[in-house]
Every structure is written in C-alpha cells, then in structure tokens.
Amino acid sequence: MRKHRLGLVFLLGLVLIFLATPGVSRAEDERTAKLIEGAKKEGAMVFYTSMNVDDSNRMLKGFEKQYPFIKTKLFRLGAAPVLLKMLAEKRAGVFNCDVTLNNIFEFDVKIKEGILAKYISPEAQAIPELFKDPNGYWASLYLQPFGIAYNTKLVSPQDAPKGYADLLNPRWKGKLSLDRGDESWLAGIMHIMGEAKGLEYARKLAEQNINFRSGHTLLLQMLLAGEFSVDINSHLQRAERYRSTGAPIDWVAPEPSLVSYNPIGITARAPHPNAARLFIDFALSREGQKIVRDIGRPPARADLEPIYPRLAKFAKGEIKVVPISIKWAEHYNEYLKQFEAIFLKKK
C-alpha cells in the first residue's frame, strides 16, 4: 500500500513538472534560439516602410537593443513609391528587402505579385482576427483612425464640420485639404454611402477647390501653419500628438469613421530571413507594441490601449467605424481612376 502511494506521488510530481514547463513554451524557446543563431550569422536586417523616419528608427533602435548583433537598415518612402520600388527590384531579380510595412492596399499587390512569404509569428495571437491575414502573409503593426482635423485659430469648435455633409458648406470653399493619394478614402466613402451616392458626394466635394498635397504629415504641418482650415482625411494619431503639445489643432470623428491598419510582413526572398522573423516577432510583441503606443500610434494588440485616450474610443466601439478592407483592393485601379478623374482631373 505504501509503495502504491509513493508511486502515485511520483506520478503526480511528473504531471506537475509537465504542466509547469509546457511543450509549447519549450518549442517556442527552441524556435527563437534557432532564429537567433541564424540571425547572428546574417548580422543584418533591411526594412522597407511607408512609416515616417522618426517612428521607424525608434522601432529599429528597440529591436537592435534586444538583438545588438543585428544591424538594421531603413528605406522609407511613401506607400506607393515603396511598392513600386519592390516591384521594380523583383523584375530586376534584386532582393534587398527583408521586412516591409505598408498600407493595406499595397499589401494586396505584394501578395498577388509573390513578393511576400507566409509567416505566422507566435505574437500574432494577440492581434484581433480582423487585423491579420488568415493565410499568414501579414499582421497589423498599428491601427490608423481617420477623421476631420481643423486649425483652432481659424475654426471654432462650434463652426467645425461634424460630418461628411458639412464639408459641402460653401464656407469651406478653398479652405479644405486632401492627400492626392487618398483613393482608399474614396473607397471608404463609396462603401459608407453606396457607390452611386458616394461618387455623387465626391463630385460635389471636388467643387470646393480642395488643396491637394502628397503626404498626410505634410498636410497636417500646413494645416498648423494656417495654409488651409480643415484637413478632410487626417491621421488622427498625429493630429492628437500635435494637440497634446498645445498646437492649434483639434479633430472630429464623422460617423462612421474610417479606420485603416498597417500590415507588416516578411518578403519571399528575404536575404536575412532569420533576422526578419525576429523583427516581426519583436514588432508584434508587447515590448514592440509599447514602442508603437509610445510614439502615439494605436497598437494592434488587443491587450494594449493607445497612449491618447481619445483614440481608444475607436477600438472600444464608442465611435462607429468602417475598417478599410483589403478586399477593396480588388477594385483598387477602379478607385484610383475615379479619384483622379473626380479630384485631379486626370482621364
């Protein structure tokens, strides 16, 4: 009887040891160790992104701090130029990029062109299903809520436009701005209002003599300088960052508001594949996502809130939103032609 009890105690001890050190954790440790071993031999990682230089460098410095044996290189341009560079390099048989971060529409092209490889990071478990690819090509690094920003020295809160229809008021003629590459905004308007009504609205809005520039950051800087009064489709995390420093800017969220998400993925011919996987793991981890949060961008992880409380309303459902879907990219060329024909007068 005593031997039987000792046997049960021994068996229970084995079970407790097994539960305390689950196979999944050991497997993940082994996987990471292999990646580190490979990355030490590679010694480098190249990042192509449309995220601004300052924010990109903060992410890369955090990564290098954790993996000092990896030297990173940044290539930063606008969303479309990054895509065009990667397409040109692929056709030339040149493969320099390891990891890319871009807008959702550009990612659709990269997948179809075979530029991306599947990689499901274990950290992607914390990313909501809506913000990652079910096939494993990408996961979102951060969310991008959009709204209407205005210069508070030129526009009072009472007079500021509250929704899309308000932008048609004759008082705003010549005082509005929009990014000349905002075809995804037009796609969102057509999705919200319906295709016919959305196009009709866009044509009326075009009669407001809109100021067009390339780059949302540039538009906000010009808005702060008083070049115009209202930015139609503003990056709210940057607007909120300026507002927190006392800059003369505020914003409203028309309902429903558009929310985009910026995916990160590994390239199919990555010259440093181990370092690339480590970087994606880091970017999606709590540590990497805290960097995203601290630079003012709403992190994609469900267990971290944005640093600016007003932006948390988008994730909490306090503001009705319409996510810009990668499925819309199937009609990207159509949206682009419509945007150019209506706003830029290109046939």
**Contact partners, residue 35, CB within 8 Å, separation at least 6:** 274, 277, 278, 281
Q: Which residues face 230 on adjacent strands?
A: 150, 176
Look at residue 55 in the predicted model and tell me its pLDDT.
Answer: 93
Mean pLDDT confidence for 204-217: 94
* CA-angle at 326, arms to 208 and 54, nearest 5°: 75
The sign of the dihedral angle between the CA atoms of 136, 263, 89, 70 is: negative
Mean pLDDT confidence for 245-265: 94
Contact 98, 46 (CB under 8 A): yes
Which structural domains are found in the chain, ordered by start? 40-143+261-315 (3.40.190.10), 145-259+320-344 (3.40.190.10)
Contact 91, 299 (CB under 8 A): no
SS3 275: helix
- Give dist(CA 315, CA 307) in Å, integer: 13
The count of other CB atoms within 10 Å of the CB of residue 275 is 29
- What's the mean per-residue pLDDT of the chain? 90
Closest CA to 237 of 289, 189, 309, 183: 309
- Give dist(CA 100, CA 97) in Å, integer: 7
Mean pLDDT confidence for 149-177: 97
Of all helices (H) and strands (E), which one includes residue 312? helix 309-316
- Give dist(CA 107, CA 138) in Å, integer: 8
Q: Which residues face 163 on adjacent strands?
A: none
pLDDT bracket for residue 11 (50, 70, 90): very low
Look at residue 172 in the predicted model and tell me its pLDDT.
Answer: 98
Q: pLDDT, tens digit, for every residue of 40-95?
A: 999 999 999 998 899 999 999 999 999 999 999 999 988 888 999 999 999 999 99
Mean pLDDT confidence for 10-24: 40
Tokens standing for residue 188: 């969102």
Of all helices (H) and strands (E), which one includes residue 82? helix 79-92
Residue 3 has pLDDT above 60, yes or no: no
The count of other CB atoms within 10 Å of the CB of residue 84 is 14
pTM (whole model) above 0.95? no
Tokens standing for residue 156: 């009072």
Look at residue 25 in the predicted model and tell me its pLDDT.
Answer: 64
Q: pLDDT, tens digit, for every residue of 92-149?
A: 999 999 999 998 888 988 999 999 999 999 999 999 888 899 999 999 999 989 999 9
Tokens standing for residue 237: 């995390």
**Per-position b or e across 328-346, b if 16+ CB within 10 A of its CB:** bbeebeebbebbeebbeee
Q: pLDDT, tens digit, for every residue of 260-270?
A: 889 999 999 99
- Give dist(CA 100, CA 123) in Å, integer: 17
Contact 315, 298 (CB under 8 A): yes
Mean pLDDT confidence for 1-15: 40
Mean pLDDT confidence for 293-301: 90
